[in-house]
Amino acid sequence: MNSFDELIKRMSSGERRALGKIITLMENDSSSSAYIIPQIHNLTGNAHIVGITGPPGSGKSSLVDKLISCYRNDGLKVGVIAIDPTSPFTGGAILGDRIRMKRHYTDKDVFIRSMATRGNLGGLSEATGNTIQALDAFGKDVIIIETVGAGQVEIDIVKVADTVVVVSVPSMGDSVQTLKAGIMEIGDIFAVNKADIEGVEKCIIEIRMMLELSEKKGGWIQPIIKTFGNKDDGANDLYESIKNHHKYLIESGHHEQKRIIRGKTELINILQNLFIRNLYDTISEKEMEELAKKIANREKDPYMIIEELIPRLKKFI
Amino acid sequence: MPEKKLRILIAKPGLDGHDRGAKVVARALRDAGMEVIYTGLRQTPESIVETALQEDVDAIGLSILSGAHNHLFKKVIDLLKEEGAEDIPIFGGGIIPEDDMPYLTDIGVKKIFGPGTSTEKIVTYIKEMTNK
């Protein structure tokens, strides 16, 4: 494990390539994470974690670009995790969110990492949580996570972010859309982007109506902010709202609560993944295939097979 | 489940604004199961190298049609060396005359794919190159 220690040391001294490599290691192999995270965990917990979510093409990347500028004007160091979908057919991905963030490419205090979902369905990739830890340990003051283009149920961002910004655009459907469960329930802040196109006022009214009907999130009233992709108007208001929300979380004690919930999520995720990995180590692909055949030709039912397998799995519990 | 994936940076350095070829290659690599990071047009060598470090890519592909290939490849390779990242292999494509090939090979460019190259050939080459 010497090469890991060396990388962690290089990362701690501020080497960007070492950070890049550590993220790759954790993305490719969960046993790497099991070695790396314990070494950096005590350096984390300082960054404000901001999630940006919304439908494909709603302008999330462009808003992230503008937010980076706001943070940099205040002298804060920024990490960005931009997630795009993996093809369920080929396993490949085009990671193109960073194109909108070009002007920050050579800013040494901005670290942008593109990630593919690799089969994860909640709008993030499996390694997103550990990548947040790595960026946090690297000394970033804020970590912005841009989810995949999200529709209705890709809401895992709420489990990792302190502050969630839901980006909407006008003319995406009637008011019933805002009544539906899912993504509209997770916003701490709503940004109505492309606010120069028709239907913006209607969109704002619908979100406001939805919010008035919802249970209040403690003492926080979710602001609705008009933003634009092609000009900077609104981005500063969004930035101020994000900072206000962070302040609110800390002062109200919600910050602490959220972190406890997050700890629980992390624990459950790691346990689940560990269990699944052990399961695959226990049952060979060939055996799995044979068992599946028995289910398919009705020789056995899945519950019968599980009864038989359980004694083998007990050693992991 | 976590698994190793090839991550390839496809970049357009310099001033030409024609990225059809870069996009076709990006798409072909995607369809071959790779993760392709595309920088967009008109990138400086500095921004390409910085992106390669942050994204921890296995290879960099540069698409150049402006005629400034000798200068741009050299600059990217020099900057990679400065960052201690000269182990990241570089390949290229675009309009690059035969006469310039020896120079490019000499400075460390692994391969140039000219117009008409099949995407299959590029995919095979990248897989072999990154396997070493």
DSSP per-residue string spanning B41-110? SSB-HHHHHHHHHHHT-SEEEEEE-SS-HHHHHHHHHHHHHHTT-TTS-EEEEES--GGGHHHHHHHT--
For B104-115, b where at least 16 C-beta lie within 10 A, e where not — what string? beeebbebbbee
Architecture of domain A44-252: 3-Layer(aba) Sandwich (3.40)
Answer whether A57's CB lies under 8 Å from A149's CB: yes
pLDDT of residue B119: 95
CA distance B48 to B80: 10
| Token couple for B68 | 């400034």
CB-CB neighbors (< 8 A) of A16 in chain B: 50, 53-54
Q: What does the pLDDT average to over B43-70? A: 96
Which is nearest to A180 in space by CA: A144, A206, A142? A206
Q: Do B56 and A24 touch (CB under 8 A)?
A: yes
- pLDDT value at A29 more than 90: no
**Between A and B, how many CB-CB pairs are < 8 A?**
99
pLDDT of residue A150: 84
pLDDT band at A16 (very low <50, low <70, confident <90, very high): very high
Of A273-282, B54-63, B69-78, the one with minimum mean pLDDT is A273-282
A218 compared with A48, residue with greater pLDDT: A48
Chain B residues contacting A, CB < 8 Å? 1-5, 7, 26-27, 29-40, 43-44, 46-47, 50-51, 53-56, 83-85
Query: For A273, which residue in chain B has the nearest alpha carbon?
Result: B1
- The per-residue pLDDT for range A223-251, each reduced to its tens digit, is 999 999 888 889 999 999 999 999 999 99
Q: Do B36 and A95 touch (CB under 8 A)?
A: yes
Provide CB contacts within 8 A for B84, sequence distance 6+.
A17
Q: What does the pLDDT average to over A210-217? A: 81
Q: Do B38 and A96 touch (CB under 8 A)?
A: yes
- pLDDT value at B95 more than 60: yes
Structural domain spans, chain A: 1-42, 44-252, 266-316
Select from A7, A13, A17, A273 the residue whose CB has the most chain B CBs within 10 Å, as the one to mutate to test that interface: A17
Q: Do B30 and A92 touch (CB under 8 A)?
A: yes
- pLDDT value at A284 more than 90: no
pLDDT of residue B2: 60
- pLDDT value at B8 more than 80: yes
pLDDT band at A83 (very low <50, low <70, confident <90, very high): very high
pLDDT of residue A282: 85
pLDDT of residue A196: 92
pLDDT band at A175 (very low <50, low <70, confident <90, very high): low
Give bridge partners of residue A93 from the DSSP assignment. B35
Q: What does the pLDDT average to over A86-92? A: 94
The domain B7-131 is classified under which CATH number: 1.10.10.10, 3.40.50.280, 1.20.1440.130, 3.90.1150.10?
3.40.50.280
Helix B119-131 crosses helix B20-31 at what angle (to 10 degrees)?
Answer: 60
Cβ count within 10 A of residue A68 = 23
Q: Percent of chain A scored above 70 by pLDDT?
A: 97
ipTM, two decimals? 0.93
What Rg value do the Cα atoms of chain A yield, rounded? 22
pLDDT band at B132 (very low <50, low <70, confident <90, very high): low
pLDDT band at A177 (very low <50, low <70, confident <90, very high): confident
Amino acid at B94: G
Quick check: pTM over 0.80?
yes
The helix or strand, by DSSP H or E, that contains position A53, with its residue range, turns out to be strand A48-53
Dihedral in degrees, nearest 10, Cα atoms A284, A288, A291, A295: 170
Of A152-156, A296-300, B67-71, B104-108, the one with minimum mean pLDDT is A152-156
Answer whether A93's CB lies under 8 Å from A27's CB: no
Distances (CA, A) of A164 to A44, A215, A225: 20, 17, 13
Q: Please tell me which of the candidates A17, A87, A126 has its beta carbon nearest to residue B85.
A: A17
Give bridge partners of residue A81 from the DSSP assignment. A113, A145
Please return the burial class of A300, using the count of CB atoms within 10 Å of its CB with bins 0-12, 13-18 and 19+.
Answer: middle
CB-CB neighbors (< 8 A) of A114 in chain B: 35, 37, 55
Q: Please tell me what DSSP assigns to residue B122.
A: H
pLDDT band at A316 (very low <50, low <70, confident <90, very high): low
Angle at CA A237, nearest 5°, toward A235 and A243?
A: 105
Q: Do B54 and A27 touch (CB under 8 A)?
A: no
pLDDT band at A185 (very low <50, low <70, confident <90, very high): confident
CA distance A294 to A298: 6
Q: Please tell me what DSSP assigns to residue A46.
A: -
- The per-residue pLDDT for range A93-142, each reduced to its tens digit, is 999 999 999 999 999 999 999 999 998 888 899 899 999 999 999 999 99
Query: For B6, which residue in chain A has the nearest alpha carbon?
Result: A92
